[in-house]
Amino acid sequence: MEEQKGRSERMADRFSTHQVEFGEDVVIKRYRSWHRGEPYREWTALTLLAEHAPGLAPAPVEAALDADPPMITTSRLPGRVLRGEHATDEQVAAIADALNRLHQVPTRVVEAVEPAPWGPVVAVDKVRVLADKQPDLGHDPRVRRAYQMGAAWLPSTDPDKLTVNPHPPVLGLADGNHANLLWDEHGGRVWLIDWEDSGRNDRAFELGEVTEHISRVDGGLDAKQLLARIDLAQGEAERVLGFRRLVALGWFLQLGPSGPATPHNPPGTLEHLAERVLELLG
C-alpha cells in the first residue's frame, strides 16, 4: 500500500502545476500559478461536488485563497493515478461511472459557475492558429498526410458548429490529463482530482479531452469502450467525435521537431498521434 501511495505522489508531482504536501489524512496544495483564479476554481468545484456528488472528488477541508501562495487542504484519497497505465475494462467502467455522476450535477448549479478557461471557442481558435503556422512536422509521409487532412478540416464549418452547444452545460475538469484520474482498486472506483482549471463547460468537449489528451500515449484508454458507457443525449456522439478530432489535432500540431510539446513525450509520439488523426478524420 505504501509503495502504491508513493507512486501516486511521484506521478502527481511529475504532472502537476502546483506543490503538493501529503499528510496522513489530508493533502495540502500550494499553487505555483493563480493568475486565472485556479484556487477559487478548485475550491468552488470541490465545494459543489461535496454537496451534489459526494464521493467523487476530494472533500474540501479548508482554504487560504488570498494567501501568497494560495493553498487549499482536502481529504486524502486512496489509489494511484492512471496516467502511464493501460486502463483495464474495470477501470474504464469506473471512469465512465465517475463522468456520468459528474455530468449529473444539476444544470441550475452549473449555470452559476464561471466558464472553464479551456473550452470549445478557445480550443478551435488555438488549433487553427497552430495549423496556420505550418509547423515543421518532419518528413514522415503519414505525418504529412495527417497534417494535410487536419489543415483541410479546420477551415470548414464543422469546427465552428462545435462552438455552439445545444445541450445543457456540465461542471468539467477542462483537462483530460489521465493523471487526474485516481484509481482505487479496493473500492473499484475512480476519483477525479485537480480541479484548478474547472468550470462550466460543454460535455462533448470534456469527453473529447479525456479520450484524446496526449497522456493517452504513455498508457492506454479505449475511447470506444468508454464512450459506449456514457449516457449521451441524441446528437452528442457526433459532437464528441468533432472534439476528439480537434483535441487530437491540437496535440499533433505541437509535436514537430521544435514543437512545445515534443520534449515532454517519448520518441514516436508524433507518429502515433498522426495515426490517430488519420483514424479520426478518415
In sequence order, what DSSP letters do the residues of 150-176 get, joined into one string? Answer: HHHHTTSHHHHHHTS--S--EEE-S--
CA 109 to chain centre: 21
Q: Which of 277, 25, 265 is nearest to 145 (CA)?
A: 277
* 8 Å CB contact between 193 and 83: no
Which domains, ranges and CATH numbers included, belong to the chain? 80-281 (3.90.1200.10)
Q: What is the pLDDT along the chain (282 residues), one digit of tens a residue?
A: 344 444 444 444 444 567 999 999 999 999 998 988 999 999 999 999 999 999 999 999 999 999 999 999 999 999 999 999 999 999 999 999 999 999 999 999 999 999 999 999 999 999 999 999 999 998 999 999 999 999 999 999 999 999 999 999 999 999 999 999 999 999 999 999 999 999 999 999 999 999 999 999 989 999 999 999 999 999 899 999 999 999 999 999 999 877 888 888 888 999 999 999 999 999
Angle at 32 between CA 218 and CA 118, to 5 degrees: 60
pLDDT tens figures, 116-127: 999 999 999 999
